[in-house]
Amino acid sequence: MRERVLPPSPSRRGFLKSLSIAGAGTALAAVGSVANAGAADAALQQSAALIGDGTTDDAPAIQAAYDAGRQPAFAANRTYYLNSPIFLDRPTSLSMFVLELNGAILKLGPNLPTTDAFWRETAVKWAFFPNTKRTALQSGKVDVSVNTRASGTNTGALISLIVRNGTIDGNGANVGFAFANRTAARFESVVLRRGRALLSWTDYSDANVFLQCHNRAGGPANSVLVEQVSSGDGLLMQSCKADAAVGLARLKYCRGAEIVGTVTGRIELDACSAIQIRGGHQEAPIINQTMVDIRSSDVVIDTTALYLTRGQAGDALPPVVRIADSGSPASSVVIRDSIEMRALVRSDEQLGSLVAIERAVPGTRLEARGLTAVVSVRDIGGLWSRSVGPSIGGASAVTSAVSRSLATVASGDFKLQDPGTGWVLSPTTAPVSATAATPSLWSLSTVEEIQGTLPAKGHRYRCQGRLAGGGYTPASAFTSWVTPTRGALRFLLAANGAVQEMRIWRFVGTSATANAYVAVPAAALTHTLYDTGANVNGFGWKPGSTVPPPG
């Protein structure tokens, strides 16, 4: 069991004890200790005092509504300006404040305070401070700590803030919405626009929830919906989305999180354990950046579509998933029943790697279970065919181990790890019984969907399979095709289950010498291939002389 990097200030037992002895009296106090007629009138007056013109500071009216035990009444399509902090500081562990925005916008202003508790970037300003006493504000800075915790030094608050159905607008500034003090928050159908983060916290703020939220670009480049800088477990993010230029989550010291059904948006994991990313859709090529960045963490990526980055040969093509350990503990990453998406566009482009292990320590491990690769081109109705792949990259020692056994990678069931003596790639399932059936290339046609660079002339192709059990099949017969215009060719590669790696040669005209060669993982019975000129399904052709075809 790993030790927590940031231990809790007081133990969690204090919190549990407070729940067990609180009883009905504490619960009633949580609803609001000011339940007299005067307080109710004050709450109604403060709700009416909300201006919503986008320039008048509405934070004092929201603070007054909280103090009176009432929800502020927001009007749809109005913009409410928050230019001073709001403290949710009832001295109880069961208090809850609900912001039902009703389609309104909360616009964050420049006069909000900072906190040194957000140590990653202390210049970030924040609007809400759940479970922190308002007396913690001094000279534009809030001391968010155990000493200023509203629920007391011995316990946290269960959940202090719920925000629904609206937009948080950071106005392009380095400003976040809520910074919690050992308490949870819940965001439902909330858009973060041009801001730094919806939430961060200090000291074990557990069970934070994000449902159908969206992070829109236009503010800080490192914007995320949630940025964790202190321990906090049991995070749930479901059906959320981010513009490709910004992120979904940046987690550190998290012990248990589920990120489900999300669309695009960077996920960064540092020193985390028991993280599951499931049912996601990550389109890395929109901005050509890594979508899942892993450091010293235990992660499972399950049933997720992972689109490869793309560009020209020589371009920096980052992987979709990057593992970069710089110290203990070593990362353990499992990719299960997921799909490498090779989306080809209207040009001859090379594709990046699915996973790259760029830095490692002894024990760093990647495991695949049921990993497959598919390919599609633009304008064919979203139809995907089985492709050669997947592609694993990283440091030279990693790629060397992979290149020695593309057959193992092609199976989609393998382990790649460094036990401290060098990288080892090994299958996790028994190879198919080897046979010597000859593979074939057939059903060629020109491709109008891709503006490739394949010259308008005759081409011949030949292939040979590498068997899972070792050795090679006989080489296929030549298959010829004449491309009437400069562009691309589509053809099918057929093999049997014993073949796990395919070697393909391309010849120009009647030449007996191949001008291009590629070796690719190939474990399915049939694969759809697109020769776009310099690449085939995003794998770069090499000079044919590097590996002469069999006689």
Q: What is the pLDDT of residues 172-218, one digit of tens each?
A: 999 999 999 999 999 999 999 999 999 999 988 889 999 999 999 99
Nearest to 289 by CA among 264, 331, 319: 319
The sign of the dihedral angle between the CA atoms of 31, 32, 36, 41 is negative
Task: Tell me how far CA of residue 65 lies from CA of 13, 46, 48, 149, 422, in angstroms.
Answer: 32, 6, 10, 21, 62
At residue 14, what are phi and psi to the nearest 5 degrees? Answer: -60, -40
pLDDT at 432 over 90: no
Distance from C-alpha of 450 to C-alpha of 532, rounded to nearest angstrom: 7
List Cβ neighbours of 551 (8 Å cut-off, separation of 6 or more): none
**Do residues 502 and 468 touch, judged by C-beta distance below 8 A?**
no
What digits encode the pLDDT tens for the residues 158-169? 899 999 999 999
pLDDT at 138 over 50: yes
Instruction: Decide the pairing of beta strands 141-142 and 197-202.
Output: unpaired
Q: What is the pLDDT of residue 9?
A: 45
pLDDT at 425 over 50: yes
- Helix-, strand-, coil-residue percentages of the chain, each rounded to 5: 10, 40, 45
pLDDT at 346 over 80: no
At residue 360, what are phi and psi to the nearest 5 degrees? Answer: -145, 160
Task: Tell me how far CA of residue 174 lies from CA of 171, 221, 403, in angstroms.
Answer: 9, 10, 45
Distance between start and end Cα atoms, the chain:
58
Instruction: Give the type of residue at 95.
Output: S
Distance from C-alpha of 370 to C-alpha of 339, rounded to nearest angstrom: 9
8's tokens: 């809790």
Q: How far is CA 74 from the centre of its chain?
A: 33
Q: What is the pLDDT of residue 377?
A: 80
What digits encode the pLDDT tens for the residues 245-260? 999 999 999 999 999 9
Q: Is 395 helix (H, G, I), strand (E, B) or coil?
A: coil
Q: What is the pLDDT of residue 380?
A: 57
Q: What is the pLDDT of residue 26?
A: 37
Rounded to an integer, the average pLDDT of 343-356 is 90
Distance from C-alpha of 406 to C-alpha of 320, rounded to nearest angstrom: 19
The pLDDT-based confidence of 431 (bands split at 50, 70, 90) is: low
CB-based burial, 231-256: b 16+ in 10 Å, e otherwise: bbbebebbebbbbbbbbbbbbbbbbb
**Do residues 306 and 267 touch, judged by C-beta distance below 8 A?**
no
Of 68-72, 107-111, 493-497, 525-529, minimum mean pLDDT range? 493-497
Distance from C-alpha of 36 to C-alpha of 392, rounded to nearest angstrom: 66
Mean pLDDT of the chain: 87
Q: What is the pLDDT of residue 535?
A: 93
Rounded to an integer, the average pLDDT of 379-403 is 86
pTM attached to this predicted model: 0.85
Rounded to an integer, the average pLDDT of 32-36 is 40
Q: What is the pLDDT of residue 381?
A: 53
pLDDT at 102 over 60: yes
Q: Phi/psi class of residue 412: alpha, beta or left (left: φ > 0; alpha: ψ in -120 to 50)?
A: left
Nearest to 272 by CA among 307, 305, 234: 234
Instruction: Give the type of residue at 505.
Output: W
pLDDT at 34 over 80: no
Q: Compare 10 and 445 and report the one with higher pLDDT.
A: 445
Radius of gyration of the chain (CA): 28
β strands within 447-498, DSSP E? 458-467, 479-482, 489-494
Report percent pLDDT > 70 for the chain: 88
Of 43-52, 210-219, 445-454, minimum mean pLDDT range? 43-52
Rounded to an integer, the average pLDDT of 121-146 is 98
DSSP secondary structure string for all residues of 187-207: EEEEEEESSSEEEEEES----
